[in-house]
Amino acid sequence: MQHPVNPFKLALRQQRVQIGLWHGMGNAYVAEICASAGFDWMVIDAEHVPNTVPSILAQLQALAAYPVAPVVRPGWNDKVELKQLLDIGAQNFLIPMIETAHEAEQAVRSVRYPPQGHRGVANALARAAKWGAVTDYLERANEEICVLCQVETARGLENLDDILSVEGVDGVFIGPADLSASLGYINQPDHPEVLAVIDDMVRRVRAAGKAPGILHGNVEQARRFIEQGVLFAAVGVDAGLLRRAATDLLSEFRGSPHPGRSAPSVYG
């Protein structure tokens, strides 16, 4: 068995826009329901969601039956956590809170075998290598891993060009909620000053030959970012979709919007 091409990484290289969904409920059954909708990619979040390696494995297995690319966000830029996620089959990584080129380099090295990195060799134990059945796994794995650095702070913004210069970084994901807070506009991700910064970041990422990405649950705003050049856009969060549908249904019977109904936001 030969190592397959990573379709998500290939799509970004070919500059084909990928529409995604944020999976924030940490449940394989929910992940499969969302996968059946036909999104190009889905984030399995372990930074703000109570996920563990076994629960992420279950979600990867649930998504495997569908033409959707799983993108795993670990809790931190941690080489031990990344090693485990690699071996259970994660190929696309969204690394949170990258603020310097050094941190980006650490992320890249953590997901690559020597000499490009320091990932431990245990392909006979790894689901990623089909427990040794992928005969060229060790030779091909490095080139098929996709590293997306999440830049979401003022310090990360200051060092953006250095982060983009790191070989092995495939894209930069802009986190509008944290970025706006870091810039002094907490809970105002659509403030004109924040939007201007994001537009400039998208331009700089594209100019560096990398793929820009973002999350925004407002349809018009998400479309605007895609028009600006974003190549991978998460256009909603499953938890937000469920909550909104539930409150909308309740309002049908109470005759007025439920007071717990939140306005559309970055998270949908």
In this predicted structure, what is the pLDDT of residue 15? 98
Give the contacts of 262 (CB within 8 A, at least 6 positions apart): 240, 243, 244
Q: What is the pTM of this model?
A: 0.95
DSSP string, 137-181: HHHHHHHH-EEEEEE-SHHHHHTHHHHHTSTT--EEEE-HHHHHH
How far apart (Å, rounded) are the C-alpha atoms in residues 151 and 159?
9
Q: What is the DSSP letter of 264?
A: P
Query: Which residue ranges make up each domain of the chain?
Result: 7-237
In this predicted structure, what is the pLDDT of residue 266? 81
DSSP string, 56-68: HHHHHHHHTTSS-
In this predicted structure, what is the pLDDT of residue 265? 72
Instruction: Please choose, from the candidates 117, 118, 88, 80, the residue with its C-alpha nearest in 3D space to the C-alpha of residue 28.
Output: 88
How far apart (Å, rounded) are the C-alpha atoms in residues 58 and 50?
14
Give the contacts of 166 (CB within 8 A, at least 6 positions apart): 101, 104, 105, 108
In this predicted structure, what is the pLDDT of residue 261? 52
Mean pLDDT by runs of 10 across the 268 residues of the chain is 96 98 98 98 98 98 98 98 98 98 98 97 96 97 98 98 98 97 96 98 98 96 97 98 94 75 63
When computed from its CA atoms, the radius of gyration of the chain, rounded to whole angstroms, is 19
In this predicted structure, what is the pLDDT of residue 262? 55
- Of 23, 48, 191, 258, catalytic: 48
Catalytic residue list contains 258: no
In this predicted structure, what is the pLDDT of residue 255? 80
Q: Which CATH architecture has domain 7-237?
A: Alpha-Beta Barrel (3.20)
